[in-house]
Every structure is written in C-alpha cells, then in structure tokens.
A and B are shown apart, each in its own frame.
Chain A
C-alpha cells in the first residue's frame, strides 16, 4: 500500500516530494473552496466529510516521512535553501495537527447546523490553518516561520468570529485579532533586531553567530525578549493571557477546542525551534523569562479557573495552567546533558495527551448544544449521569485526566514533565506545579460532582451525531489507553528531539 502511494508521488522533485502533506492539504483546501461556491450541488456537510477524508489521507505520506526520518537518529531532509526541513520533530507535530483537525471537523458537522453557520469555507479555513502550522514547524528560517505563523493566525481569527450573529463570537474574534496583530508586530520587531545583529534569519546561522560571541550583544537580547513576548501571546502564557478567557468563551466551541490543542501545539513547536535550535547558546537570557512565564501561568491559571461558572472559560483558564506546566519542559532543555531530550520528549507526550483529553472535554460541551441551549454553563451538566450515563462517564474521564489522576493520559504527561523539571534542577517550579494541579482537581471535580450528584431538570439523553460520537469515542479510548499502556505513545514522542 505504501509503495503504491510512494510511486504516485515519485515523479516529484525532492523539494516538492518532502512537502507532499502540505501540497495535498493546500490542494484539498482549494477544492473545498471551489465546491463551496455551489451550495446546492455540494452540501456543506458533504464538504465536511470530504475534508475529513482528505485530512486523514494526508496522514499516509506523513507516516512515510516519519518512517524515513526515524531510520537514523538525526535524519532529516532539507530543501529550499535550507529553509524547509523535515525531521522527526516536524513530522510528529504535523501528525498532531492532523489529528486535532480531524477531531475538530468531526465535532463541527452537526454543531454548525445548529448554529446555522454551516458553509464549506469553514473546513477550508481549518485546512489552511493546518497548512500554516505545517510550514511553521518545518521552518528553519524566521521568514518562512513567520509567514506560516500568519497563515495560521489569520485563519484562526476568522474561525473565531465564524458565528456572525453571535455577539460573543464577534467580540472573541475582535479581541483575538487586535491582540494577535500587536503580537505579530512585536515578533517582527524581534526578528529584525536579531537579523540586524547576526546578519541572517536562518536559525542555524543565528545559532552559530550567537555561539561565536554575540551572546551578550544588547540588541540580540532585546530581540530575543521581544520574540518571547510575542510567542508568549501565541501560546497564551501569563501575563499575555488577557485575551484567552473571552476568546475561548465566544468562539464556536469546536474552534475553541482547535485553539487549545493544535494552535497551542504549533506555538510550542516554534518556541522549541527558536529557543533550542536557534538560541540555545543564549539560554541564560531566555531561561529566567521562561521561569517567570511558567510560574505566573500556573498560579494565575489555577486561581482564575476556581470560580468560573462557564465551562469554556473554566477550560480556558485551565489551558493557561497547562501552558505553565509545558513551559517547564522548555526549561528542561539544556546543552550537553540528556536532560535536553527529556524536556522535549516530555512536551511531546504532554501535548499528545492534552490533545485527546481537551478535545474530548470540549466535545462534550458541543454535545450539549442544541436548539435553545448553549450548553456551556457548569449547571448544564447537572444530573447528566442519569440522563446520559456514557457521556457523563467520558466527561469524568476527561476531567480526571486533565487533573492528572493516575491511569489516565494526563498523569503520564505530568509524570514526564514534572520529572524533567526536577532533573533540570527546577525543583521549586515542580513543587509549584504539583500544588497547582492539586488545586485544579477542585474545579475539574466540581463539574463531575454536578453531573453525578445533581438532579436533572430535563429528561432525555443526548443525541450526538455519528461524527461527534466517533470523535468522542476516539478521544476517550486514547485518553484511557495512553494512561494504561503508554509505551507506544512514549516511543512516538521519543523521536521529538532537535539535534
């Protein structure tokens, strides 16, 4: 099977051959756009199924590339003047994006009908966002990285405001767009300063220039700080998190799920690319900043989530806390020791677990949505266990996993991250993380208690569409599987190392 698919693309020159996933996905997005013009002939629902099928099919060339890049440690394909690189790091993240995109689109089909905003462009925009992310994680040049980042950002700005009749969606998109454009400007400013000092936008050249004695150049440090500020916005770390609760609450729930998994993973991928591949020699300058971001995110995220009555806001604050945990993995990356690899592997494991459990949690919020009920209040979950025992059970699993209870995916992720932080001598940060995750159990369990202890005001179970149900089942199975038998996932994540 692989051979047939391989020969299908064998005529391509190698520069394009390693870009098969990006090319296929771009083409599919174009087709979806063209089809969506003819609304009568091609119902949006069918365009949705088409997009899901194509996105899943793109997995085949990706797996092929994964096999080839993991044959030898450090194996990579480089093209386009060294700008575009396919290594196991990039391929892992691309698989993660596809996974998140597929789950998002599965959840969207019925949801968009209920919201009366079902058009084909929605799926095209998700695919364009994924294309942007793919270029981001494969970029070894800051210009390509920036263009990919913007492709992703602009698609997501629009998706956040997709429910045009909903004032909250408008507000969400506007806040996201305004703050996002500012952070884009700051990022560019940072790039230009780094370019002014090192004379290049290529990460390897920058890395060499820094190692050769530009470490303490004041403009380089200033550029680095500006880039960290902008990246902090993209991954939603405190104190650049102000947009998160409103944007997450107002955006369509499916898109919120996409934000909190794929977009965040892409942000962490470029944080690692820039800080580790480009700026590892300047670690003494960025590490203190990352420590502050990490500690502040854990504290503010946990405190903010405690009193939320809206599940989407609750999950927004909880995602800020999770960013704090993940930043510990970035800190664990150090030169020379094998702790470096440990930090990156921990981030990969955690992002994998986080994708499944967070998608699942948002999927339940989507399942509650129907005519006349938004379904994003904690109260809407009251008594769900009696109405829909299976749905309540999966929400229980997702909440426990987010809280990091053993035998769930979240526990494995936290185990690796906290371990990496301790090995890297950030013990106090790990202690803070444990305290934060113990506190976070309170607000996760609050939802569970309402579901199992409360009396439902209405009768009748949930009737999720087949697509949504399958997305929920996939998330549930992987969340449990990863908790009970994590070895294959850890094996996968062990390839996420930058050389």
Chain B
C-alpha cells in the first residue's frame, strides 16, 4: 500500500469519526471542537492530493473564521436553548445510522465504480504551481461566476443589514 493511500485512509477515517462525534456530543461546544477536527482532516486530504493552497484556505476560512462564528453563536444563545435532551439523542442516533448507511453505500459504489470515469490531474499540474493554477482557473476560466459571486456576497451583506437594523 503506498503512502498516499495510507494517509488518505487515516485522514478520511479521522474526518468520519470526528463527524460522527459532532452530532453525538451533548455539549454544543464539544461538537464545535470536533468540527475543527473534521475541517483539519479534510485539509490534510487536500495536502495529500497536492492541493496545498486549498488546504491552507480550508484551515483559514473554516477552522479559523466559520468555527469562531459558531462558537460565538453558541456562547450568545447558550446551550440551554438547544432541543430537549431526549429528542436530541433520538435525532443524533438516527443521524448516525443514516451517515453510516450512506458511507457504506458510497464505499460499495466506489468499489463498483473502480477507476471508471475519474480523471487524473492534467498535464499542467506539474508545470505550474498550485496557487498559480487556482488563480488562472478563477480569473480566466471562471471569471464570470467569480464576478456574479461578488453580487451574491453584496446581496448577503445588504440582507444582513436590512434584517438587523432597527425598523423604521
């Protein structure tokens, strides 16, 4: 078994275990911390497949930005505001079972699929650096979605202000 595959298996199972713990934990803060585990494992997978830039962005944006926001919300709302405990446990159990079933299904499908249609990295990947290629994709091939995304973010910001400001 080569090193890449081994690393992938380790990181993927770490992500899975953390993911299951996110929904099984009673304490919302613990859930949030396990979520960091998920994000970092996924970032590790990115490094393994050679997408270092994505890995760094993953850690910065998700583990750094989004998670801190989650923790703030948990702090402000307080964990008492969560759903009743019994119901919570039921939901978590159902969720776990579904996740395991889905995982099994995916694993089986992947075995069936084998190497069929997946595409390997293109020839450019060895010539250009990681960040250069992300930049080229973003500002040449996908420039239009990139620009539309700026409208999307503006709408989100305007919306947040509209909903949060005092009513006239």
Please report A residues at the B interface, Cβ cutoff 8 Å: 26, 33, 39, 80-81, 83-84, 116-117, 119, 121, 124-125, 128, 131-132, 135, 141, 143-144, 146-148, 150-151, 154-155, 157-158, 161-162, 164-165, 196-199, 209, 214, 217-220, 222
Among B106, B109, B117, the residue within 8 A (CB) of A209 is: B117
Q: Which chain A residues border B125 with CB–CB below 8 Å? A: none
CA distance A222 to B112 in the complex (A): 13
CA distance A128 to B158 in the complex (A): 11
CA distance A498 to B102 in the complex (A): 35
Instruction: Report whether B155 and A165 are in contact in the complex, using a CB–CB cutoff of 8 Å.
Output: no
Instruction: Report whether A218 and B152 are in contact in the complex, using a CB–CB cutoff of 8 Å.
Output: no
Instruction: Report whether B158 and A125 are in contact in the complex, using a CB–CB cutoff of 8 Å.
Output: yes
CB-defined interface of B131-168 with A at 8 Å, one 1/0 digit per residue? 00000000001111100110110111011001100011
Among A135, A147, A161, A197, the residue within 8 A (CB) of B118 is: A197
B contact residues, range: 20 to 34
Residue in chain A with minimal CB distance to B122: A199
Q: Which chain B residues border A196 with CB–CB below 8 Å? A: 117-118
28 A-B Cβ contacts within 8 A?
Answer: A39-B168, A80-B143, A81-B141, A83-B142, A84-B144, A117-B167, A125-B158, A125-B162, A128-B155, A132-B148, A132-B151, A132-B152, A132-B155, A143-B145, A144-B148, A146-B145, A151-B152, A197-B117, A197-B118, A198-B117, A199-B118, A217-B116, A217-B117, A218-B109, A218-B113, A219-B109, A222-B106, A222-B109
Instruction: Report whether A121 and B158 are in contact in the complex, using a CB–CB cutoff of 8 Å.
Output: yes
Instruction: Report whether B148 and A199 are in contact in the complex, using a CB–CB cutoff of 8 Å.
Output: no
Among A39, A125, A131, A197, the residue within 8 A (CB) of B159 is: A125
Besides A39-B168, A151-B155, A214-B117, 15 other CB < 8 A contacts?
A84-B144, A117-B167, A121-B162, A128-B151, A132-B155, A143-B142, A143-B145, A150-B152, A164-B167, A199-B118, A214-B116, A217-B113, A217-B117, A218-B109, A220-B117
Residue B101 at the chain A interface, CB threshold 8 Å: no
Q: Which chain A residues border B155 with CB–CB below 8 Å? A: 125, 128, 132, 151, 154-155, 158
Instruction: Report whether A155 and B144 are in contact in the complex, using a CB–CB cutoff of 8 Å.
Output: no
Instruction: Report whether B167 and A165 are in contact in the complex, using a CB–CB cutoff of 8 Å.
Output: yes
Chain A's nearest CB lies how many Å from the CB of B165? 9
Q: Which chain A residues border B113 with CB–CB below 8 Å? A: 197, 217-219
Among A39, A80, A131, A199, the residue within 8 A (CB) of B144 is: A80
CA distance A121 to B154 in the complex (A): 12
Listed from nearest, the 6 A-B pairs whose CB atoms lie closest are: A199-B119, A158-B159, A218-B109, A80-B144, A197-B117, A151-B152
Q: Which chain A residues border B152 with CB–CB below 8 Å? A: 132, 147, 150-151, 154
Residue B91 at the chain A interface, CB threshold 8 Å: no
Residue B49 at the chain A interface, CB threshold 8 Å: no
CA distance A334 to B89 in the complex (A): 47
CA distance A157 to B160 in the complex (A): 11
Instruction: Report whether A147 and B149 are in contact in the complex, using a CB–CB cutoff of 8 Å.
Output: yes
Q: Which chain A residues border B119 with CB–CB below 8 Å? A: 199
CA distance A146 to B119 in the complex (A): 22
Among B110, B142, B158, the residue within 8 A (CB) of A219 is: B110
Instruction: Report whether B151 and A131 are in contact in the complex, using a CB–CB cutoff of 8 Å.
Output: yes
Q: Evaluate whether A144 and B117 lie within 8 angstroms (CB atoms) in the complex, with A154-B152, A218-B109 already known.
A: no
Chain B, interface SS category: helix
CA distance A217 to B151 in the complex (A): 36
Residue in chain B with minimal CB distance to A142: B145
Instruction: Report whether B145 and A147 are in contact in the complex, using a CB–CB cutoff of 8 Å.
Output: yes
Of residues A124, A162, A218, A222, which shows the largest number of chain B Cβ atoms within 10 Å of its Cβ? A218
CA distance A130 to B63 in the complex (A): 34
Residue in chain A with minimal CB distance to B106: A222
Chain B's nearest CB lies how many Å from the CB of A86? 13
Q: Which chain A residues border B117 with CB–CB below 8 Å? A: 196-199, 209, 214, 217, 219-220
Q: Which chain B residues border A209 with CB–CB below 8 Å? A: 117
CA distance A135 to B112 in the complex (A): 37
Among A33, A116, A131, A143, the residue within 8 A (CB) of B158 is: A33
Chain A's nearest CB lies how many Å from the CB of B63? 19
Q: Which chain A residues border B112 with CB–CB below 8 Å? A: 218
Q: Which chain B residues border A81 with CB–CB below 8 Å? A: 141-142, 144
Chain B's nearest CB lies how many Å from the CB of A205? 11
Q: Which chain B residues border A165 with CB–CB below 8 Å? A: 167
Instruction: Report whether B168 and A148 are in contact in the complex, using a CB–CB cutoff of 8 Å.
Output: no
Q: Which chain A residues border B142 with CB–CB below 8 Å? A: 81, 83, 143
Q: Which chain B residues border A148 with CB–CB below 8 Å? A: 148
Q: Which chain A residues border B145 with CB–CB below 8 Å? A: 83, 141, 143-144, 146-147
Instruction: Report whether B159 and A151 are in contact in the complex, using a CB–CB cutoff of 8 Å.
Output: no
Instruction: Report whether B144 and A158 are in contact in the complex, using a CB–CB cutoff of 8 Å.
Output: no
Chain A's nearest CB lies how many Å from the CB of B69? 15
Chain A's nearest CB lies how many Å from the CB of B45? 14
Instruction: Report whether A119 and B168 are in contact in the complex, using a CB–CB cutoff of 8 Å.
Output: yes
